[in-house]
């Protein structure tokens, strides 16, 4: 199905999966509204995607006021709205006994509450946004369902499990409005998610992961995740991809 001229909001659209999702949508003729906190990264993403195709608003998904303002601004800028990809997310690997309170709250606020309140804000806009195929895609993580994704991710994995359970009820509620709701559950893939992780905590998590003899998957690319999101958004009206899980197919060889 063509996505020509459709308009999608992508939270966390300035980097990693979000930017790859925006690129994949623009490649199919859609236009995108990007949300993120860092204005310079947003400006760079808009320059890459083209000013006719992309519009950015600096916003923190942990703030309801930011979400409301940013969604309304994007809908007004493009004059319509067809969907939302709840992609913004972050992780802070750490052992439970060493959890940092602020980092726990940040993961819950960004990954779970950010998704909940973004959905709450977008539903009325999708009802009135002039779309004949409105959609919401929520990005989860394979860690919500599998224990071998990585170690020391208890809070992150719990926020994503919450996103998945929330998405199931959202999907049934949205049936009345014919808003398609999907959850994409990616395994590890190349992005910037680990860029600001504490080195010591990351090494400890990685070591525990190796010692547990876990999956040792070789990561996928952000582009492969983006194609899965576009697949969900491109279904014909009346068809919904409820849950799509992607995991790397290769196992790392020793030393890889
Ligand atoms: N990478 C993986 O292997 C993997 C696997 C499974 C699931 N995921 C999920 O995929 C999604 C994208 O992650 P990624 O790997 O692409 O991460 P990333 O490269 O770090 O990109 C994260 C994006 O989210 C934005 N963001 C973070 N916190 C935000 C906030 N509070 N408000 C608004 N924007 C915010 C960032 O921009 P600013 O920092 O400027 O705000 C950035 O644009 C996340 O939900 C993540 O949990 C990732």
Dist CA 189 CA 225 (whole Å)? 8
Say what the pLDDT of residue 210 is: 74
**Going by C-beta distance under 8 Å and a sequence separation of 6 or more, which residues neighbour residue 101?**
none
pLDDT, tens only, 223-232: 999 999 999 9
Residue 173 CB contacts under 8 Å (≥ 6 apart), including other chains: none
pLDDT tens for each residue of 29-84: 999 999 999 999 999 999 999 999 999 999 999 999 999 999 999 999 999 999 99
**Protein residue with least CA distance to atom 36, ligand 1:** 12
pLDDT at residue 216 above 60?
no
Distance between CA atoms of 247 and 140, rounded to whole angstroms?
Answer: 12
Residue 231 DSSP class: H
Q: Are 55 and 30 in contact (CB under 8 A)?
A: no
pLDDT at position 214 over 80: no
**C-beta separation of 41 from 56 below 8 A:** no
Q: Which atom of ligand 1 is nearest to the CA of 142?
A: 6
d(CA 40, CA 90): 19
Which residue is catalytic, options 141, 143, 151, 191?
141
Q: What's the predicted TM-score (pTM) here? A: 0.95
Average pLDDT (148-156) is 91
DSSP 68: H
pLDDT of residue 253: 59
Task: Please work out whether the CB of residue 174 comes within 6 Å of at least one atom of ligand 1.
Answer: no
224 lines ligand 1 (CB under 6 A): no
The rounded distance, in Å, linking the Cα atoms of 120 and 209 is 37
Mean pLDDT of 134-163: 95
What does residue 186 show for φ and ψ, rounded to 5 degrees? -85, 145
The Cα–Cα gap between 32 and 68 comes to 17
pLDDT of residue 19: 98
Q: Hey, CA dihedral for 25, 133, 79, 38, is it positive or negative?
A: negative
């Amino acid at each position: 199905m063509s996505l020509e001229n459709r308009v999608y909001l992508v939270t966390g659209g300035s980097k990693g999966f979000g930017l790859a999702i925006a690129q994949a949508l623009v490649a199919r003729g859609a236009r995108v509204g990007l949300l993120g906190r860092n204005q310079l990264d947003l400006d760079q993403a808009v320059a890459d995607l083209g000013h006719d195709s992309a519009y950015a608003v600096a916003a923190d998904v942990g703030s309801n006021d930011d979400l409301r303002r940013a969604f309304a601004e994007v809908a007004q800028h493009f004059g319509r709205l067809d969907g939302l990809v709840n992609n913004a997310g972050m992780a802070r690997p750490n052992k439970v006994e060493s959890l940092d309170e602020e980092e726990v709250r940040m993961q819950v606020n960004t990954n779970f509450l950010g998704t909940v309140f973004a959905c709450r804000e977008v539903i009325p806009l999708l009802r009135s946004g002039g779309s004949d195929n409105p959609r919401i895609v929520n990005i989860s993580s394979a860690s919500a369902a599998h224990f071998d994704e990585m170690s020391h991710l208890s809070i992150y994995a719990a926020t994503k499990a919450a996103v998945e359970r929330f998405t199931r009820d959202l999907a049934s509620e949205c049936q009345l409005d014919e808003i398609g709701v999907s959850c994409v559950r990616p395994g590890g893939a190349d992005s910037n998610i680990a860029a600001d992780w504490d080195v010591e905590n990351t090494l400890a998590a990685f070591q525990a992961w190796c010692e547990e003899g876990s999956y040792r998957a070789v990561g996928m690319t952000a582009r492969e995740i983006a194609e899965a999101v576009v697949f969900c958004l491109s279904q014909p009206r009346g068809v919904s991809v409820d849950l799509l899980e992607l995991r790397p197919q290769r196992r790392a060889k020793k030393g890889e």
